[in-house]
């Protein structure tokens, strides 16, 4: 019997040399393993960079849910390909339901961003690095978290609050939606931390240019207060912002040659003409379909035509407004030289040398917005007297006469309109409408807009009529539905009223 | 020679049967004519001590074998009525014992070395007494391959007089009367009787007897006699499958075994077919079986490199008891493939050739509108819009010029016909040299196959060489080495799905010409009158070059050591190296691959290089012992396997010209590279116990670790047990003579599934950089939501079966019932996105497959010249989701505009789901009075209000189950007949009562006028007065027409006459040419179905959860071929 064992051992040993669990330990060599990351400054910095990077992903779809749905933009109706029907068209035509994929994508992208934010926040404590640095990273992450929750709470109302990374699938099913007030509590608390932890823009190193500063946190907190109609707090907070001023020319604000300029409070960074994945694709979604290079000078380059200015906003520009030609074009000459009256956004179109690789940054907060918020908040708090000083520099830059002699209500209307034009296509309009109108007022307003679009479609519809339900906005649609896919996996989630 | 199983197996058979080691027995029989020259040997030196106490002869023989190295052969019925014997023998020769125990029986014996043959006494007697009366007949006996058969018994019918053929297969028998009949019989061959009729020279070819119950078949890590098998195992008898023009070995399985569904999803040359054994058991992980070639578990695919003509036999393991020995890879069944070896004593060269032509029959081509019909459609749809929306009748001058005069349409192109090749060729050549002489047997083969595609500019080529050497190095050590190298080259096109070339050809504008006036290809098709512009499909096939080349080198080697009499140790090593190269160049002269992008476009190039290295080592210790009526076999094994793949891909865009097709020419280029690996370790054991051949018991156990699982669940345990009861061994069955063999068996086992891909057990970070000060800074984000507890998917399977062989084994019958429950499925389930991800791989859910399988075989000889054989199998599988997850009651896959599949508890996986069409809305009044469908107008489909809320919402809420993609049953039938030297064989197969959604029709019945339309579209709805055939919707809108709905669901029940082969065997006519065979074959002969697509076995989705989709694929051609097999 010993003999048998001996032979078996020799033979087995041949393969047992590589044996044991270590033989079964296979790690993906092409990617970093998350479990052992976030240990030191370099690793945490790269994870924070990842958080910024996800803001690019978020911004690339933000226009669908905040601009496109408003009265600012519409779509270049595609007779031949209605494949976008249930998603993009649903939003433009107010045919949203809990399955509308662009709403789901928006919701998902927001929580995706939050996941990375929460991971970094939870790992900061254990990472080996300077405490001041930790504080700085915490400030940046908490600004981001506040920004994400602010988007969520405005779009969806009550939402799930998740502040820690979720470890197993089982845990994820135990969350319920928190009331709006609780979400704002978190947002304010995060922003207050950010304000105390973050450096002023002036003290940020050149090689960090474009990152979040204290000014950005103040501006965002001001916006939160404004949204919550805490006007006095809004004024106090926004007034603390210093070191920013308006660019002399409106066009310079969006010029890729002058990124992160003195007016920029916070913008999403992009880079043109390279293959490192940092280009911004906005204009390729916005400019007209089937323009075949007539608009963007690359042979056969076609746009999506999804986010085009409405006749309504084109008409809203006052005569002589210098911002109009910067922001939009009312049509273009096609390759045969024939005028084609399809309007498109030009604000985010700047020359680039490689097709599909523009580099326009996307403004999230800029000083003009701060000034307009101050004008709005101070008017609501104390009347229009203080507001002129904030709004008029913007009008003057646009080549328009300054405002004067308005009562509180007229000033309110004037500032809202000024915001629409000054911040056109920068994804503020939907939130501005929701902030300044009750859901019923919003419904009345948007139904009027819809009726106008139905009778004067911005683009030709090729003989295809609107459905009866198109452009019918009901008050409950002021909040988006919680995606059906989320309710399917978590039966504890409630749906917003009005949606099935 | 050591006695072994196949040898012993011969003792108790009711009649002489086929054994795997026919040739070994040949040697035994051979000595009958030569025994007088045998030298002093084992039998004359070995002395035995034995004691018998009232024992049957059977037991006596067993004891002699158990106490010596002798093997004893006899026909069972010779000793059936023998008396019991007693006696004690001390230190005596075996001949002394035999003389003693056989003396009262009419039996004698012959001995050569360690082999003993028991024969009737008079048989020996006649051999020795030569009476010169009557005629002398001589001749030669060969097998169908022409090889001489030594040892064949030639007996004059009605007498016991006979002789045995010599080493060259020759015989000479005297004293034969003019009207006598000679009977030729040989183990494993069909007995033949030939009337003398005055001939003095009679040459005979004996046919092999197929599927005997004594056949030895491959099982996991070993072999077993078919009749001893207690689990569900199907054997595909390669000898029963006629020659066919096939390019992939998976085709050999089609229609052959119950419970094994082999679907040819497309007609792409060389493509492997989709094999499902006993239903889809998993929602998340793969459902392909494990393929084991010559003991090497190569994975869930056999790929394209295995030459079908190298295959000797295929065994399919179906139940858990047979597959548990493969542990984590066994739950979808195991296909064991054994390649050819030289037969003992054989020395031959075999050459085969097969030429064919392939065509897609006109009846299987989809009919689209011609130029005039489509132009008319465009005009009518324009007019219909005016009538409905503007309430006016347009004058001819108002109609846009492009569609004003449809009858004047200049061109009418049938794009499908244009891209199909007429008479594309099929060629297959093989040469095999086998040498079975001497201790080491060797076989070398080379093959070349060239299959042109039924679609132009596609095709497949393969070169193979194989060499193997096996044999006994000495009495204790045997070795084997098998090396195969192959190279395949495939020219392919994106042919599947609506965006593939077939779809494109269907919906291309028929009013566009193929060629310009100057004879060049028209580069841009459509693009006017609202029709989408696209590349010319023929030009795309010609100029978008896509090539895949695979080089494979596989080696198996083993060494087996026999020691301590009953032990064997086998160590084997397998390695396979695959190199893939793919190259795709799309020149600037082609229009874009999508729509409305006329040429020139930027040229693009993609180059992929992949390398796969798969290494496995197995150590196997076996023990074999027979103690009286108890037979014990044990095995202990250890297996380690590792596989690694590496890839490098380069893509380039925008080339200065189309002539130099290399990446450095490209203006923009991007390289990527990757690597992945997996490994597994397993320990396993098997115990077989057999009592009197009556009660059979088998148990296996495997413990396996896989790199694919989380630390907490690295190892899995897979036990199984099976038992069999051979009723025919019981005394109460002795009287029932028509039953040759009857066995009841049952099994239970646990198997696993680890087909979840690599690295799903650890979260990784993906690159996601950002910019500061316009300078790139690298960053990372989480890449997946990882479940650290991810563990094994386990299937518990019960199988109950019955095997019957009756009427002289003319009839064989197998029936089985099984129930398989898969637990803890590795399923990508939806998780709340607050985790950061919408899905993760989790162990959830339960799926059940239950089924019945029946197989019947019948073969009979009708006259001397005519025999008939047939095999029929049918299987019924029922699939049911038992559990998905506490929170996930249903799983949706697919898309609103495509096919929705839904898995819901209590129903099968992935039922086709969508709106149920209950008619076409005829009038505005009907639109108004029906449940509200926002945007509906007369002529759109009227949908069933699934949730009963009085409105049809434009989402999935009103969707209901509209189709079941699983056949009620699948069946296969083989009919064969031999008449003299001719034979004919027909294979039928089919599936009944299941549905497919013909997704492509949402494109080719797209009434927007942007694509060409099915010819049946002329009968669409135009108005309440012209309602059409009730199938085609109005062209006035797009909404409520192409969502996932029941309009596009069809019954796909079908029957194929898959293959017809007629063969002719020439008589062996010279010393050089041993045999030659010629045949004619029609493959994919006839399809009988109401399904409107070209292939009712199609599934354009590769996902288990998305069955029953037809988005159009490469059509399956009919092939006519002729071939020859010539053996020297």
Tell me which chain B residues have a C-beta less than 8 angstroms from the C-beta of A107: 833
DSSP string, B566-591: TEEEEEEEEEEEEEEEEEEEE-TTSP
Q: State which residues of chain B have pLDDT below 70.
A: 1-42, 73, 75-78, 80, 110-115, 119-133, 145, 160, 167, 187-188, 208-214, 284-285, 886-888, 1068-1071
Q: Are B161 and B127 in contact (CB under 8 A)?
A: no
Query: Which has the closest alpha carbon to B315: B245, B389, B378, B233?
Result: B233
With CB atoms and an 8 Å threshold, state whether A53 touches B765: no
User: B765, B781 in Cβ contact below 8 A?
Assistant: yes
CB contact under 8 A, A486 and B770: no
CB neighbours of residue B93 within 10 Å: 16
ipTM for the predicted complex: 0.92
Angstrom distance (rounded) from CA B348 to CA B641: 37
Domains in chain A, ordered, with CATH?
A: 10-198+437-489 (1.25.40.390), 282-345 (no CATH)
Tokens standing for residue B391: 């309430």
Q: For residue B751, what is the DSSP state?
A: E
Shortest CA distance from B937: residue in chain A: A467
Hey, is B93 helix, strand or coil? strand
Does the distance separating the beta carbons of A52 and B835 come in below 8 Å? no
Asked if B121 and B107 count as a contact pair (C-beta separation under 8 A), the reply is yes
Look at A269 and B774 and tell me if their CB atoms are within 8 Å: yes
Neighbours of B737 (CB within 10 A): 11
- Name the residue in chain A with its Cα closest to that of B617: A15
In angstroms, the Cα distances linking B644 to A32, A59, B678 are 19, 39, 7
Q: Which residues of A touch B674 (CB under 8 A)?
A: 30
Nearest to B762 among A18, A33, A95 (CB): A33
pLDDT of residue B887: 53
The DSSP output letter for B200 is S
Which residue matches tokens 């299941």?
B994
Phi-psi region of A22 (alpha: psi -120 to 50; beta: other; left: phi over 0): alpha
Q: Which two tokens stand for residue B113?
A: 């070395």
Tell me if B507 sits within 8 A of B425, measured CB to CB.
no
Question: How many C-beta atoms surround the C-beta of residue B467 within 10 A?
Answer: 15
User: Which residue is associated with the tokens 């504008």?
Assistant: B509
**B1074 contacts B1128 by C-beta, under 8 angstroms:** yes
Tell me the backbone φ, ψ of residue B458, rounded to 5 degrees: -130, 155
Q: Do B888 and A489 touch (CB under 8 A)?
A: yes
What digits encode the pLDDT tens for the residues B617-658?
A: 999 999 998 888 899 999 999 999 999 999 999 999 989 999
Judged by DSSP in three states, B728 sits in helix
H or E element, residue B1038:
none
Helix, strand, coil abundance in chain B, percent, nearest 5: 15, 45, 40
Distance from CA of A213 to the nearest CA of B (A): 13
Closest CA to B722 of B739, B752, B701, B740: B701
Question: How far apart, in whole angstroms, are the C-alpha atoms of residue B104 and residue B108?
Answer: 10
Q: Residue B707: its chain A contacts at CB < 8 A?
A: 24-26
Q: Which of A206, A209, A468 sits opposite B934 (nearest CB)?
A: A468
Residue of B nearest to A274 (CA): B668
Nearest by CB: A111 against B774, B836, B1037: B836
Residue of B nearest to A256 (CA): B774
Residue with tokens 């699982």: B709
Nearest CA-CA partner of B593 in B532, B540, B634, B516 = B540
CA B764 to CA B156: how far, in whole Å? 80
Strands B115-120 and B71-73: parallel
Structure tokens belonging to residue B966: 């699983």
Q: Do A80 and B763 touch (CB under 8 A)?
A: no
What pLDDT score does B122 carry?
Answer: 58
Quick one: tokens of A77?
Answer: 């109706």
Residue A423 distance to chain B (closest CA, Å): 24
Considering only CB atoms, A46 lies closest to which of B563, B592, B778, namely B778
Residues of B in contact with A18 (CB under 8 A): 640
- Show residues of chain B in contact with A108, CB under 8 Å: 833, 838
Contact A489 B831 (CB under 8 A): yes
Contact call for A95 and B787, based on CB within 8 A: no
User: Residue B276 pairs with which residues in a beta bridge?
Assistant: B261
Query: CA B186, B187, B189, B195: dihedral to nearest 10 degrees?
Result: 20
CB B636 within 8 A of CB B620: yes
Query: Which residues of chain B have a CB within 8 Å of the CB of A488?
Result: 830, 888, 890
- B781 to chain A: closest CA residue: A50
- Which residue, chain included where needed, has tokens 């700047």? A350
Min Cα separation A438/chain B (Å): 27
% residues pLDDT > 70 (chain B): 92
CB contact under 8 A, B830 and A489: yes
B894 dihedral zone (left: phi>0; alpha: psi -120 to 50; beta): left
Cβ contact B1010–A465 (<8 Å): no
Query: Is residue A34 packed enough to be buried (19+ CB in 10 Å), middle (13-18) or exposed (0-12)?
Result: buried
Confirm if A344 and A303 have CB atoms less than 8 A apart.
yes
Answer yes or no: do A112 and B777 touch at CB < 8 A. Answer: no
**Of B785, B852, B1114, nearest to B259 (Cα)?**
B852
Look at B836 and A34 and tell me if their CB atoms are within 8 Å.
Answer: no
Question: In a structure prediction context, what are the per-residue pLDDT tens digits for chain A, which is 500 residues long?
Answer: 445 544 444 445 444 444 456 788 888 877 777 778 999 999 999 999 999 999 999 999 999 999 989 999 998 887 666 655 567 888 999 989 888 889 999 999 999 999 999 999 999 999 999 999 999 999 999 999 999 999 999 999 999 999 999 888 888 888 999 999 999 999 999 999 999 999 999 999 999 999 999 999 999 999 999 999 999 999 999 999 999 999 999 999 999 999 999 999 999 999 998 878 899 989 888 988 888 888 888 877 777 888 999 999 999 999 999 999 999 999 999 888 999 999 999 999 998 988 888 999 999 999 999 999 999 999 999 999 999 999 999 999 999 999 999 999 999 999 999 999 999 999 999 999 999 999 999 999 999 999 999 988 888 877 777 888 899 999 999 999 999 889 888 888 999 999 97
Query: Mind giving me the DSSP string for A17-58?
Result: TT-SGGGG----TTSEEGGG---BHHHHHHHHHHHHHHHHHH
Asked if A54's CB is within 8 angstroms of B768's CB, the reply is yes
According to DSSP, residue A89 is labeled: I
> Cβ distance A109 to A148 under 8 Å?
no
Q: Is B619 helix (H, G, I), strand (E, B) or coil?
A: strand
Residue to test with chain A: of B560, B773, B1002, B1038, most A Cβ within 10 A:
B773
* Cβ neighbours of B780 in A, within 8 Å: 32, 37, 46-47, 49-50
Among B758, B588, B581, which Cα is nearest to B679's? B758
Query: Rounded to a whole number, what is the distance in Å from the CA of B773 to chain A's nearest CA?
Result: 5
Residue B586 C-alpha, separation from nearest chain A C-alpha, in angstroms? 17
- Answer yes or no: are the C-beta atoms of B20 and B79 closer than 8 Å: no
Give the pLDDT of residue B692: 85
Option in B758, B833, B957 nearest A486 (CB): B833
The answer to whether residues B580 and B611 touch, using CB atoms and an 8 Å cutoff, is yes
Q: Which pair of structure tokens corresponds to residue B886?
A: 């506490």
* Interior angle at CA A15, CA A9 and CA A19, nearest 5: 100
- Name chain A contacts of B786, Cβ cutoff 8 Å: 34
Mutate to test the interface with B, among A18, A26, A256 (most CBs of B within 10 A): A26
User: What separation in angstroms does the CA of A322 have from each of A275, A329, A372, A402?
Assistant: 35, 13, 18, 14
Contact B771 A48 (CB under 8 A): no
Inter-chain touch A112–B532, beta carbons under 8 Å: no
Q: How far is CA B509 from CA B365, B404, B503, B1038, in A?
A: 17, 17, 12, 19
For residue B999, count CB atoms less than 10 angstroms from its CB and return exposed for 0-12, middle for 13-18, buried for 19 or more.
buried
Cα–Cα dist B395/B381, whole Å: 14
B367 and B347 in contact (C-beta within 8 Å)?
A: no
- Whether the bond between B306 and the residue before it is cis, its omega within 30 degrees of 0, is no
């Amino acid at each position: 019997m010993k003999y048998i064992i001996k032979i078996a051992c020799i033979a087995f040993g041949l393969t047992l040399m590589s044996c044991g669990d270590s033989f079964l330990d296979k790690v993906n060599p092409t990617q970093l393993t998350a479990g052992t990351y976030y240990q030191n400054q370099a690793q945490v910095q790269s994870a924070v960079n990842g958080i910024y990077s996800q803001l690019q992903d978020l911004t690339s779809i933000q226009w669908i849910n905040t601009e496109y749905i408003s009265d600012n933009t519409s779509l270049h109706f595609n007779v031949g390909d209605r494949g976008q029907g249930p998603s993009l068209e649903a939003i433009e035509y107010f045919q949203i339901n809990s399955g509308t994929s662009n709403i789901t994508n928006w919701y998902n992208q927001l929580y995706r961003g939050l996941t990375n934010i929460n991971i970094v926040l939870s790992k900061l404590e254990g990472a080996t690095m300077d405490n001041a640095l930790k504080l700085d990273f915490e400030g940046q992450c908490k600004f981001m978290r506040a920004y994400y929750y602010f988007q969520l709470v405005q779009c969806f109302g009550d939402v799930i609050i998740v502040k820690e990374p979720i470890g197993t699938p089982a845990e994820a099913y135990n969350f319920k939606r928190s009331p709006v007030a609780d979400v704002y509590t978190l947002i304010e608390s995060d922003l207050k931390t950010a304000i105390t932890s973050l450096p002023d823009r002036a003290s940020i190193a050149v090689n960090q240019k474009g990152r979040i500063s204290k000014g950005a946190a103040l501006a965002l907190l001001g916006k939160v207060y404004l949204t919550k109609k805490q006007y006095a707090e809004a004024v106090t907070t926004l007034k603390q912002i210093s070191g920013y001023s308006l660019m002399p020319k409106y066009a310079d604000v969006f010029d890729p040659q002058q990124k992160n300029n003195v007016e920029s409070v916070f913008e999403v960074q992009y880079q043109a003409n390279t293959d490192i994945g940092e280009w911004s694709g906005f204009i390729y979604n916005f400019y007209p379909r089937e323009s075949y290079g007539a608009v963007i000078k690359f042979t056969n380059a076609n746009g999506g035509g999804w986010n085009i200015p409405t006749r309504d906003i084109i008409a809203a520009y006052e005569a002589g407004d210098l911002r109009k030609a910067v922001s939009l074009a009312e049509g273009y000459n096609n390759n045969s030289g024939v005028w084609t009256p399809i309007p498109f956004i030009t604000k985010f179109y700047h020359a680039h040398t490689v097709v599909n690789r523009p580099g326009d940054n996307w403004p999230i907060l800029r000083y003009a917005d701060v000034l307009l918020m101050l004008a709005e908040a101070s008017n609501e708090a104390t009347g229009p007297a203080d507001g002129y000083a904030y709004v008029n520099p913007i009008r003057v830059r646009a080549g328009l006469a300054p405002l004067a002699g308005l009562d509180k209500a007229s000033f309110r209307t004037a500032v809202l309109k000024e915001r629409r034009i000054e911040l056109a296509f920068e994804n503020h309009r939907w939130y501005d409408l929701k902030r300044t109108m009750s859901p019923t007022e919003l419904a009345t307003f948007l139904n009027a807009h819809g009726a106008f679009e139905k009778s004067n479609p911005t683009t030709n519809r090729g003989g295809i009529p609107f459905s009866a339900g198109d452009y019918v906005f009901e008050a409950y649609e002021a909040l988006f539905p919680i995606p059906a896919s989320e309710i399917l996996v978590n039966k504890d989630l409630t749906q917003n009223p009005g949606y099935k | 020679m050591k006695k072994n199983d196949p040898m012993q197996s011969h003792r108790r058979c009711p009649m002489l049967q086929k054994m795997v080691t026919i040739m070994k027995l040949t040697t035994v029989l051979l000595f009958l004519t030569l025994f007088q020259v045998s030298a002093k040997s084992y039998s004359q030196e070995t002395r035995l001590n034995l004691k018998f106490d009232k024992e049957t002869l059977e037991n006596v023989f067993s004891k002699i074998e158990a106490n010596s190295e002798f093997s004893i052969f006899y026909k069972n019925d010779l000793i059936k009525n023998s008396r019991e014997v007693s006696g004690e023998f001390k230190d005596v020769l075996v001949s002394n014992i035999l003389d003693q125990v056989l003396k009262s029986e009419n039996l004698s014996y012959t001995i050569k070395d360690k082999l003993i043959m028991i024969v009737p006494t008079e048989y020996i007697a006649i051999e020795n007494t030569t009476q010169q009366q009557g005629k002398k007949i001589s001749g030669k006996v060969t097998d169908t391959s022409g090889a001489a058969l030594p040892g064949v018994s030639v007996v004059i019918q009605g007498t016991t007089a006979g002789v045995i053929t010599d080493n060259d297969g020759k015989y000479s028998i005297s004293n034969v009367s003019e009207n006598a009949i000679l009977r030729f019989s040989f183990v494993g061959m069909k007995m033949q009787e030939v009337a003398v009729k005055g001939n003095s020279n009679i040459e005979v070819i004996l046919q092999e007897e197929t599927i005997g119950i004594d056949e030895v078949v491959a099982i996991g890590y070993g072999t077993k006699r078919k009749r001893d098998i207690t689990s569900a195992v199907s054997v595909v008898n390669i000898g029963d499958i006629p020659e066919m023009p096939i390019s992939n070995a998976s085709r050999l399985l089609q229609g052959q075994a119950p419970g094994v569904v082999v679907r040819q999803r497309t007609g792409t040359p060389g493509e492997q077919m989709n094999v499902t054994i006993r239903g889809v058991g998993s929602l998340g992980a793969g459902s392909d079986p494990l393929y084991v070639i010559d003991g090497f578990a190569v994975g869930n695919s056999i790929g394209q490199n295995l030459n079908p003509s190298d295959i000797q036999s295929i065994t399919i393991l179906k139940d858990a008891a047979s597959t548990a020995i493969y542990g984590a890879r066994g739950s979808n069944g195991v296909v064991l493939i054994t390649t050819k070896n030289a037969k003992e004593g054989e020395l031959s060269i075999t050459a085969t050739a097969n030429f064919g032509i392939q065509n897609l029959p006109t009846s299987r081509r989809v009919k689209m509108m011609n130029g005039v019909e489509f132009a008319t459609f465009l005009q009518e749809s324009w007019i219909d819009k005016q009538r409905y929306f503007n309430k006016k009748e347009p004058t001819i001058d108002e109609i846009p010029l492009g569609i004003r005069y449809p009858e004047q349409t200049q061109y009418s192109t049938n794009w499908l016909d244009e891209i199909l090749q007429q008479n594309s060729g099929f060629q297959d050549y093989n040469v095999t040299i086998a040498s079975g002489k001497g201790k080491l047997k060797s076989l070398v083969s080379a093959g070349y196959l060239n299959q042109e595609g039924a679609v132009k500019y596609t095709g497949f080529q393969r070169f193979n060489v194989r060499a193997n050497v096996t044999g006994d190095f000495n009495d204790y050590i045997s070795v084997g080495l098998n090396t195969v190298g192959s190279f395949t080259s495939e020219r392919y096109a994106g042919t599947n799905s609506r965006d593939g070339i077939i779809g494109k050809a269907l919906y291309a504008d028929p009013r566009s010409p193929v060629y310009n006036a100057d004879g060049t290809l028209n580069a841009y098709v459509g693009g006017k009158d609202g029709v989408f512009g696209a590349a010319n499909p023929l030009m795309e096939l010609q100029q978008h070059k896509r090539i895949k080349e695979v080089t494979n080198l596989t080696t198996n080697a083993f060494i087996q050591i026999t020691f301590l009499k009953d032990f064997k140790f086998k160590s084997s090593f397998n390695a396979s190296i695959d190199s893939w190269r793919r190259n795709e160049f799309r020149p600037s002269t082609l229009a874009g691959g999508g729509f409305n992008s006329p040429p020139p476009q930027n040229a693009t190039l993609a180059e992929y290089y992949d390398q796969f290295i798969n290494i496995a080592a197995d150590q196997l210790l076996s023990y074999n012992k027979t103690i009286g009526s108890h037979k014990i076999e044990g095995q202990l094994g250890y297996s380690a396997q590792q596989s690694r793949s590496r890839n490098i891909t380069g893509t380039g865009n925008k080339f200065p010209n189309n002539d130099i097709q290399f990446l450095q020419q490209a203006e923009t280029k991007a390289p990527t590279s990757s690597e992945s690996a997996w490994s597994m370790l397993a320990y396993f054991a098997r115990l077989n116990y057999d009592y009197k051949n009556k009660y059979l018991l088998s148990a296996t156990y495997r413990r396996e670790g896989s790199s694919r699982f989380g630390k907490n669940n690295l190892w899995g345990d897979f036990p199984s047990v099976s038992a069999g009861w051979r009723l025919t061994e019981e005394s109460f069955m002795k009287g029932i003579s028509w039953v040759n063999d009857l066995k009841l068996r049952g099994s239970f086992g646990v198997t696993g599934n680890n087909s979840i891909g690599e690295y799903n057990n650890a979260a990784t970070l993906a690159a996601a950089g950002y910019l500061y000060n316009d300078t790139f800074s690298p960053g990372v984000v989480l890449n997946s939501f990882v479940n650290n507890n991810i563990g094994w998917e386990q299937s518990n399977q019960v199988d109950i079966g019955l095997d019957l062989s009756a009427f002289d084994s003319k009839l064989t019958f197998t029936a089985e019932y099984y129930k398989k429950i898969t637990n803890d499925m590795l399923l990508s389930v939806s998780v709340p996105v607050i985790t950061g991800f919408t899905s993760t791989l989790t162990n959830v859910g339960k799926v059940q497959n239950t089924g019945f399988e029946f197989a019947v075989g019948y073969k009979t000889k009708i006259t001397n010249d005519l025999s008939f054989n047939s095999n029929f199998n049918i299987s019924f599988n029922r699939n049911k989701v038992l559990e998905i997850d506490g929170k996930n009651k249903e799983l949706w896959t697919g898309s609103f505009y495509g096919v929705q599949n839904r898995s819901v508890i209590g129903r099968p996986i992935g039922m086709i789901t969508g709106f149920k069409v209950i008619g076409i809305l005829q009038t505005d009044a009907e639109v108004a009075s029906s449940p509200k469908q926002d945007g509906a107008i007369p002529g759109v489909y009227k949908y069933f209000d699934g949730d009963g809320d009085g409105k049809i919402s434009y989402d999935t809420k009103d969707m209901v189950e509209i189709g079941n993609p699983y056949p009620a049953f699948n069946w296969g039938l083989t009919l064969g007949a031999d008449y003299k030297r001719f034979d004919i064989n027909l294979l039928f197969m089919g599936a009944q009562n299941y549905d497919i959604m013909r997704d492509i029709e949402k494109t080719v019945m797209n009434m927007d006028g942007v694509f060409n339309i099915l010819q049946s579209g002329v009968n669409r709805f135009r108005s309440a007065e012209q309602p059409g055939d009730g199938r085609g919707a109005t062209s006035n809108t797009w909404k409520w027409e192409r969502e996932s709905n029941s309009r596009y669901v069809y019954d796909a029940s079908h029957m194929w006459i898959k293959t017809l082969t007629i063969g002719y065997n020439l008589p062996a006519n010279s010393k050089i040419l041993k045999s030659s065979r010629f045949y004619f074959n029609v493959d994919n002969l006839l399809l009988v179905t109401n399904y409107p697509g070209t292939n009712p076995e199609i599934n354009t989705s590769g996902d288990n959860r998305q069955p029953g989709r037809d988005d159009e694929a490469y059509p399956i051609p009919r092939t006519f071929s002729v071939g020859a097999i010539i053996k020297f």
